[in-house]
Structure 1
């Protein structure tokens, strides 16, 4: 019963984080739109039927039933047609899409709104309005990440010794008696040199080491005699192991194990490092945040290539990869599972906060794609208009006027359709073959 309650609490926490992230995103659009005098009739969190709303001034604020997004409605998102509002209808479905969008942009027009339309603002102001939403997600991600990393910290390997291997075992072998020594196994260098549980390695071959990655790389690069300096019972001791070659898991340039595991020959000492939760400094947190954004960008680029495996996981017999795209349902399930893990509460809190961080980074990156109906599509349209107008002034040509973003609505419908299909695919995979905590 307790596990069910914790699981439910995890889902609720994620739902709250999701709603706050969406509301924060839309607040960025709302505040900058009002700053530049654009009338905003609606500010809504969610889609579908409205479950609560209140009107304050000229704007209706509300929450809708489906917490899968949000929006603000600004007057005059698209410029009028040649007739001053909506161009002549056509039998072409593409033309109908364009004019339907244009008509919706003006349907709430009131007397006095002529100078409060979105499209009448200078391009740089429109860029700020559309960029403010994704930027707010990035700000929220940075604040949460820095707050959790620099206060609660993160679990990581240290240079402290949690245990010493008594013998050398090829780590690529899947032995049934894993960790047990057999007759004929050579004594491990650490055991032979007298390394003990509780020791803290402070130097390797005379050079100080302060973190696990540095120590690990130096051990891997050494085969033969070495000097290991440890702190033990308040004193420093020099141990003199002779490192041997062994097959160990390969690491990438960031010091993380390559997945799936690949083994390579390297220097071997033979001890287990102790894991501890450590608060990070500003510099290391900044570096990790940069790595997170970079990894997110790489994931967005790699999404099309992951669709076949995702389809196989949802409708076939394929396994769900750990780096598979996860939707709102999948993230909620992961958060629920995290709440049931036997770990200190502060560690679970960091994990949940990191899920919200990654969600906000994803919102920022996706919305910056230069495609309608995403924010990046409107930003691209405003920038293109600015280029056209500056070029016209440079060559003393007539002002070409506002760029008609409405003409790109057929493309927007295609993009929206692709996103809807992808979202449904991820939803099915999250239900029938979810990513689970390992």
Structure 2
């Protein structure tokens, strides 16, 4: 049964991946057609064509390898300075440029002179290239909101899981101290009679509905305080005398900053964890934290390569936050469906995985490097800047920015990305990231 659920999880993730890719390319396709650019092909996947159908100017199809997708637009690059599109240089770098230029015009048909990508105004080209990543962002936000507000996520609650017997500083607890010494005073929670299973409903007379609010109230308080709890269906008022103690520093989103401490009010209990539906404001706050984490992960990517190499070839442990490729993410999808958790939580976790994948697609594609969408956006913005500058100083129009001249850089970037992809693939196969 576990094997069946694992396979099902992989299949569900692959379907989610294909939908995400198709959705991305639909953004490019719809805006290109809106601005009158001819698009000969819209394909999901790479390699041999499994199925295709032509409708109007465009061939729509699915290819065998579900690792990406593309649309092909006519005239991605302008002609050379001589107006020709098929000139071939003996220089290898010039050859790359001219090959790219020729490929952009290889399907040119009569009447296409007015339907070329490069002839569109820069702001229209920016919209066409931004539309793909933007679709991934829209899908990520929709999935995140659906899970956070609909299913809920594991969060700390106002229900008491356990009560501390005594007062121990957080640094001492982190160092391994768990037993109370005779000199350690009893915790305020124990003295007040707080018990495991109590659900705190009010603090100092103010209603409490979420853990973050309760935690803030406790940390702001030293001295006497009233705590209202629901116990066995009855409302009970407890009186506690909170003290100042060393506690873990919070990150503002309900988490803790490892190794950092502050002095604040202390009651002395551990909250229970449960599945809690989030409000709209809390959901956007959590998504903001996810975006920040994703951006930081992208910035830290070069630093993670040595550890990834050791995981792939030296048998070093694979870190939970290690970069993953499509294969690794699919394996995680299989692990998700084989977990012994309620079915709705399997679905929610899978949706979060697909949402995270879409967020990564958005951020990655926005890098201002060719051949990524962000590279074409940067080229169009540079062209707009030069043309506006020429207009201000009443100089001749410099014409379209020749993105084809950046193709040597694009090949280098693509080579680096391909090498990194192969490394991640090997690590995902021989030493995959696992979840529990």
**TM over 0.5: same fold?**
yes
Which residue of the partner structure matches residue 277 of structure 2? 279
Displacement of 1:205: 4.0
Displacement of 1:225: 4.5
Displacement of 1:216: 2.6
- Take 2:125 and 2:157, find their aligned partners in 1: how far apart are those partners? 49
- Take 2:174 and 2:225, find their aligned partners in 1: how far apart are those partners? 24
CA RMSD of aligned residues (A): 2.4
Which residue of the partner structure matches residue 173 of structure 2? 171
Which residue of the partner structure matches residue 5 of structure 2? 6
Which residue of the partner structure matches residue 199 of structure 1? 198
Q: Give the TM-score, by structure 1 length.
A: 0.91
Structure 2 gap ranges (5+): none
Secondary structure at the aligned position of 1:52 is classed as strand
- Could you tell me whether the CA contact under 8 Å between 2:85 and 2:105 is conserved in 1? no
Which residue of the partner structure matches residue 427 of structure 1? 425
- Could you tell me whether the CA contact under 8 Å between 2:253 and 2:289 is conserved in 1? no
Structure 1 gap ranges (5+): none
Displacement of 1:248: 5.3
Secondary structure at the aligned position of 1:160 is classed as strand
Instruction: Please give the per-residue CA displacement for 1:311-344, whole angstroms capped at 9, x wherever unaligned.
Output: 2222224332222211111111111111111111
CA shift in 2, pair 1:272/1:305, >3 Å: same
- Could you tell me whether the CA contact under 8 Å between 2:52 and 2:61 is conserved in 1? yes
Q: Give the TM-score, by structure 2 length.
A: 0.92
Displacement of 1:173: 4.9
Which residue of the partner structure matches residue 328 of structure 2? 330
Which residue of the partner structure matches residue 293 of structure 1? 291
Which residue of the partner structure matches residue 228 of structure 1? 227
Instruction: Please give the per-residue CA displacement for 1:92-113, whole angstroms capped at 9, x wherever unaligned.
Output: 2110000000011111111111
- Take 2:339 and 2:166, find their aligned partners in 1: how far apart are those partners? 33
- Take 1:431 and 1:258, find their aligned partners in 2: how far apart are those partners? 33
Which residue of the partner structure matches residue 66 of structure 1? 65
Secondary structure at the aligned position of 2:52 is classed as strand
Instruction: Please give the per-residue CA displacement for 1:33-62, whole angstroms capped at 9, x wherever unaligned.
Output: 111111111111111121221112221111
Displacement of 1:143: 1.3
Which residue of the partner structure matches residue 256 of structure 2? 257
Instruction: Please give the per-residue CA displacement for 1:139-193, whole angstroms capped at 9, x wherever unaligned.
Output: 1111111122221122211111234344556532547xx7x87988764432332
- Take 1:386 and 1:63, find their aligned partners in 2: how far apart are those partners? 36
Which residue of the partner structure matches residue 411 of structure 2? 413
CA shift in 2, pair 1:396/1:135, >3 Å: same
Aligned 1:371-390 pairs, distance under 5 A: 371-390=369-388
CA shift in 2, pair 1:245/1:330, >3 Å: farther
Which residue of the partner structure matches residue 152 of structure 1? 151
- Take 2:315 and 2:247, find their aligned partners in 1: how far apart are those partners? 32
Displacement of 1:87: 6.0
- Take 2:263 and 2:339, find their aligned partners in 1: how far apart are those partners? 35
Question: Which stretch shows the higher mean deviation, 147-156 or 412-421?
Answer: 147-156
| Number of aligned positions between the proteins | 433
CA shift in 2, pair 1:252/1:409, >3 Å: same
CA shift in 2, pair 1:120/1:149, >3 Å: same
